[in-house]
Amino acid sequence: MKRILDCQSSDFRAMDRASLLAAIAGSEGRTIACETIGAIMPMLGDITNAEFVAAMGADILLLNMFDVQKPHIAALPKTEPENVIHKLRELTGRPIGINLEQLGADFIAMPGHKGLLGPQGTGLLLCGRLPEPLLYGGTGTASKERDMPWELPERLEAGTLNVPGIAGLDKGLSFLQQVGISNILRREQTQAKRCAQGLRDLGRKLEAAV
């Protein structure tokens, strides 16, 4: 495994979570993480601040004050909202994270079976601090230890993983990325208006504007 300081953009594209952590660990502290604010005026005209710090040697980029509901990066070429991070990663060739400190939340939980189109019983958990496990034992990676591993997500993975559910959630996320959030939103709005008009034609009164 390459150290992160030796990696090129093609290396990052091929990395999963475990590979990236190994590349960081292999650099023995010689890793530069830089935080940028994409909503403010770029320092170099039509070059995003993220591209600027990547050119200055940053290995990992963190976005601060990033609105996931209305994603915007100043000087980024025009792109669909759901592709803003993908485009920025393409331009910088770096791993990109989002700083969630301003939310003041220790954890952010998201159900997988609703907007993410995954099976019931799945979801996502973003951890702002190291969580305490609810269940202990049966990790499969450190079975001889009484305590759970300190690494995430293994620290919360007691028992057998819901692999079919994880695979289904992955397919749901892939579908959203392929079709595009904005396209799905436009279709839902069109269907909602069509439904509302049909109810009006039947003489029904709508309590909410559509």
pLDDT in tens, 45-83: 889 999 999 999 999 999 988 888 888 899 999 988 888
Q: Is residue 55 part of a domain?
A: yes
Selection from 22, 163, 25 nearest residue 14 by Cα = 22
How far apart (Å, rounded) are the C-alpha atoms in residues 165 and 114?
13
Q: Is residue 68 part of a domain?
A: yes
Query: What is the per-residue pLDDT for 160?
Result: 79
Pair 65, 102: CB distance under 8 Å = yes
Is it true that the peptide bond before 71 is cis, omega within 30 degrees of 0?
A: no
Q: Is residue 94 part of a domain?
A: yes
How far apart (Å, rounded) are the C-alpha atoms in residues 144 and 137?
9
Query: What is the per-residue pLDDT for 70?
Result: 85
Chain-centre distance for alpha carbon 201? 43
Q: Is residue 167 part of a domain?
A: no
pLDDT in tens, 143-173: 777 788 888 888 888 777 899 999 999 999 9
Query: Is residue 138 very low, low, confident or very high in pLDDT (cuts 50, 70, 90)?
Result: low
Query: What is the per-residue pLDDT for 38?
Result: 85
Domain total in the chain = 1
Q: Is residue 90 part of a domain?
A: yes
Q: Is residue 13 part of a domain?
A: yes
Q: Is residue 153 part of a domain?
A: no
Q: Is residue 10 part of a domain?
A: yes
Q: Domain containing 19: what range?
A: 4-102
What six digits make up the tokens of 167?
């695979």
